[in-house]
């Protein structure tokens, strides 16, 4: 069965007027073609929509059931041009975004709040993933963009673009009760009690892994790696349990756990970048709007 919007418009107009003559005037047509169109619609639906006599026109139960649905369909049809315009302008649609844990404690929450206020009709699908997983999802087209730690692997450079959004120092994440300088003062790694190091596996985030080890090498220390974990929450939880200490991006200090304290490092430390990557061939106007707003922060 194929219903036309014209048929529904005729039906709704007659239902509102309950008079074929007045409905025909509203529709800028004569009454006989309107009556024929309604009769054809009733035949198509297999049920009468109106009770008619020489004096009155009334909706049947079937007509009363159809009326709100017909109005809804007509309203949706009328909104389609605006929907298409907004989608073409990046003001409506869907966007799949992945993010590393540290972004969730730094740039992501305030930016998403700002983006949602600017583009309330864009549905964001968010999920947490490590940088290596995000690269695979981008290459396979499963996500539109990802907040990750560079660098991108060589095999992805021809397909992905990247924009840096944050750089920050590494800081010490230690279990409380260590003999550290008082009053939250910065610490030298040489002065930190030797505990096992909790660190990201290198295959998950080579740049972060290497930056952490470079801090210890610069201090003349070879740390004993105790545990490896792929999520910042897990690393901080292991520190809280007294299983070792860690070096983490500064924004992770927003993740509060009992039994953990964060300290700045007195030694010079490498900066850790966080940025967003996306497929160069992704034509989505919604993605372009997302990136344009991100460039303003």
What pLDDT digit, counting tens, does each position of 228-249 carry?
Answer: 998 899 999 999 999 999 999 9
Q: How much is the pLDDT for 91?
A: 79
Indicate whether 197 and 108 sit together in one domain.
no
**Mean pLDDT to the nearest integer, 109-125:** 94
**Mean pLDDT to the nearest integer, 69-78:** 90
Q: Which CATH number characterizes residue 11's domain?
A: 1.10.10.10
Closest to 126 in 3D by CA, of 118, 113, 117, 139: 113
CB count in 10 Å sphere of residue 87: 17
**Mean pLDDT to the nearest integer, 77-99:** 82
pLDDT-wise least confident of 80-84, 177-181, 288-292: 80-84
Q: How much is the pLDDT for 286?
A: 93
pTM of model > 0.75: no
Indicate whether 45 and 115 sit together in one domain.
no
Identify the band that residue 185 occupies on the pLDDT scale cut at 50, 70 and 90: confident
CA angle 107, 108, 110 (to 5 degrees): 80
**What's the number of domains the chain is made of?**
3
pLDDT-wise least confident of 75-79, 170-174, 275-279: 75-79
Indicate whether 137 and 278 sit together in one domain.
yes
Q: How much is the pLDDT for 1?
A: 64
Indicate whether 266 and 286 sit together in one domain.
no
Structural domain boundaries enclosing 64? 5-88
Indicate whether 241 and 281 sit together in one domain.
no
Given a cut of 70, is residue 173 above it in pLDDT? yes
Indicate whether 267 and 179 sit together in one domain.
yes
For 72, 176, 223, the CA distances from 275, given in Å and listed in that order, are 43, 32, 29
């Amino acid at each position: 069965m194929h219903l036309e919007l014209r048929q529904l418009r005729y039906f709704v107009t007659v239902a509102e007027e309950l008079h074929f003559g007045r409905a025909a005037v509203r529709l800028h047509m004569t009454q006989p073609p309107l009556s024929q169109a309604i009769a054809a619609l009733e035949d198509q639906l297999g049920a009468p929509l109106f009770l008619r006599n020489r004096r009155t026109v009334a909706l049947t139960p079937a007509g009363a059931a159809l009326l709100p649905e017909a109005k809804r369909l007509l309203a949706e049809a009328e909104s389609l041009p605006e929907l298409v315009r907004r989608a073409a302008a990046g003001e409506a649609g869907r966007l799949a975004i992945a993010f590393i844990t540290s972004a969730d404690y730094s740039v992501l929450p305030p930016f998403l709040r700002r983006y949602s206020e600017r583009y309330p009709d864009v549905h964001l699908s968010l999920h947490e993933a490590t940088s290596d997983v995000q690269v695979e999802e981008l290459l396979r087209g499963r996500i539109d963009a990802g907040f990750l730690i560079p660098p991108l692997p060589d095999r992805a450079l021809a397909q992905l673009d990247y924009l840096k959004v944050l750089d920050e120092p590494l800081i010490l994440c230690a279990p409380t009760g260590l003999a550290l300088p008082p009053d939250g003062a910065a610490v030298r790694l040489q002065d930190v009690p030797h505990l096992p190091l909790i660190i990201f596996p290198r295959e998950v985030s080579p740049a972060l892994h290497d930056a952490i080890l470079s801090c210890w090498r610069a201090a003349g220390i070879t740390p004993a790696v105790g545990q490896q974990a792929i999520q910042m929450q897990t690393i901080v939880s292991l520190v809280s349990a007294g299983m070792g200490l860690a070096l983490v991006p500064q924004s992770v200090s927003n993740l509060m756990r009992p039994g953990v304290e964060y300290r700045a490092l007195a030694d010079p430390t490498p900066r850790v970048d966080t940025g967003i990557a996306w497929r160069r061939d992704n034509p989505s106007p919604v993605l372009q709007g997302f990136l344009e707003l991100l460039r303003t922060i």
